[in-house]
Amino acid sequence: MTQRILFLCTHNSARSQMAQGLLNWLAPDRYTAFSAGTHPTGIHSLSVQVMAELGIDITGQGSHALSVYQGQPFDVVVTVCDSAAEECPVFAGAREQLHWGFADPTSVQGDEATKLNAFRHTRDLILVRLRLWLGQASPTEAIPPPALGTTDADHVRILVVCTGNSARSQMGEAWLRYLGGTRYEVASAGTHPSHVHPLAIAVMDERGIDIRGHRSKSVDEFLHHPFDYVITVCDQAAETCPTFPGPARREHWSFPDPAAVVGSPMEQLRAFRAVRDALYFACWSWLAQQAKHREVQ
């Protein structure tokens, strides 16, 4: 029997809707997710659009008032905005009542592209939080996200390495720069550099990140540069990557090469999207652990 989980936000238009759709997609054998709002207004069209990018249709979920579910049994109740957390009543039968705060993408001002990217970013943050939560022995302590945009003067220098510096390491560099803020200085390189793959450019552009100006670089360019971390993102690079001087710590994250996929253009695009999203999760998880470690110190 699946556990019942209820996601709550203010309008039940974006954050709670995306959380419901994502959890039902990620773990349908473990959870049945529902969502509601303290002041429901309907599902936002951009919520529908960005979820459809992952192949998830949330049009049938409906927008519901919190009162619809009061008195019903839930194993877990999660508020995904601060306002809902303040207004949410105690669900007597819930085993856990959690709060994961996400900024409201509907409040972002700007052109349509800016608004769309805000919804994509919120969707991806919720996806990462859910994956972290699902992977823990106990669901009561989700790892907090790193402090984005910190101005800590103690920079952490990272080199991300794969074979061709065309896809995996390029996307890893871009995600670490995007998510890590000014605390992290990030570069990427290849043991046998070639060129930045056009599909890597295309799928990162879908997330609002422009890597058109990136070039493919050899690890030889960085042999005399000091790094705190050298992260290899393919098995071959892990075997052939040279040793860097100084205190560099080696980490290895294994990802398949999306450029090696043989198939239709759509199959190849899906392969790049899958690696892009897996790298997003890996980068968020690693940065969250870094942030947690700093808090302990």
Q: Which residues are catalytic?
A: 162, 234, 241
Closest listed residue to residue 232, CA positions, set 247, 243, 216, 221: 243
Please answer whether residues 65 and 37 qualify as being in contact, where contact means their C-beta atoms are separated by less than 8 angstroms.
yes
